[in-house]
Structure 1
Amino acid sequence: MVDSIDKKLLEILKENARLSFADLGRKINLSPSAVRERVQKMEDIGVIKKYSIQIDNQKIGYDIEAFILLKVFQGQLKYVIQQITKFPQITEAHRITGSQNIHLKVVLKNQLELQNLIDQLMSLGDTNTFLILSKIE
């Protein structure tokens, strides 16, 4: 089970997952070995699933980010879920409730790439696209 100290560790790791066990320990008054044991335990039980990085997509040539809602054609949901993983432009995919079935976040180089992706997704269901103007932080 996760206790209040583990929750503090998680909050710190959310901000900077690259901190050493010693640095983490200093922030919550624990020894590096105690921190390592707690982090390892949370990894083992699946609380911590993975470590990742945030990338500024525009700085590497991807100028468009968008959300696409997909209403899958009747009886095709399992097939579509399998197909979604084959699109490298899709950075996040969620099965949702409501009038649409799937919520996608996509990162693309330009409008032509967005148009091509939408054309491909339209063979799987009805799409509704929202360009991301900025992230609110």
Structure 2
Amino acid sequence: MDEKDLIIIDALKKDASLSVAKLSLNTNLPSTTIFNRIKKLKDNGIIKNYTINIDKDRVFGNIQGIILIKASNTDQRQIVQKLLEHPSVENAAIMTGNTDIVIRIRVKSIDDLNKFILDYLRKIKGIQDSTTMISLEYYEKN
């Protein structure tokens, strides 16, 4: 990968629906260069698919939180898989240190958060303890 590939990837990250001609205008690279490089990036698995960028606040809710989870002597991967089945869980990570698993959630209301914790999280076998923190502001790198 070189600078031209990074320019193309950056343009596609901003708007994956752009045609090769429009990408050429936006990047000042020839259309044939863009076409060939996109094909090469796909063939090499760097570009895996195109996706849409939705307004997550409107679709899933604007209350975001982080939950720190302490697991008992259980397979943490099984706990993570169970957590990821819930639509409110955006992602999960198995960690080192005092916290075994960290999840990021998104809900529409405090009542939804309450239901998630009481009716779902606390019923997962192997979860020993959890600490829930609500995000006041959340920033994501483009």
TM-score by length of 1: 0.80
| Aligned position for 1:62 | 61
Structure 1 position 61, deviation (Å):
6.5
| Aligned position for 1:121 | 121
Q: For residue 38 of structure 1, what is the amino acid of its counterpart?
A: R
Call closer, same or farther: CA 1:67–1:27 in 2, change over 3 Å. Answer: same
CA distance in 2, matches of 1:20, 1:53: 15
Alignment of 1:24-39 (within 5 A): 24-39=23-38
Q: Is the 8 A contact 2:60 2:106 kept in 1?
A: no
| Aligned position for 2:72 | 73
Q: Give me the identity figure in percent.
A: 29
| Aligned position for 2:3 | 4
| Aligned position for 1:133 | 136
Where structure 2 has 5 or more consecutive residues not aligned to the other structure, the ranges are none
* Paired residue secondary structure (1:68): strand
| Aligned position for 1:99 | 98
Call closer, same or farther: CA 1:95–1:40 in 2, change over 3 Å. Answer: farther
Q: For residue 26 of structure 2, what is the amino acid of its counterpart?
A: K
CA distance in 2, matches of 1:4, 1:44: 18
Q: Is the 8 A contact 2:84 2:91 kept in 1?
A: no
CA distance in 1, matches of 2:48, 2:72: 32
Call closer, same or farther: CA 1:42–1:77 in 2, change over 3 Å. Answer: same
Q: Is the 8 A contact 1:118 1:127 kept in 2?
A: no
Number of residue pairs aligned between Structure 1 and Structure 2 = 136
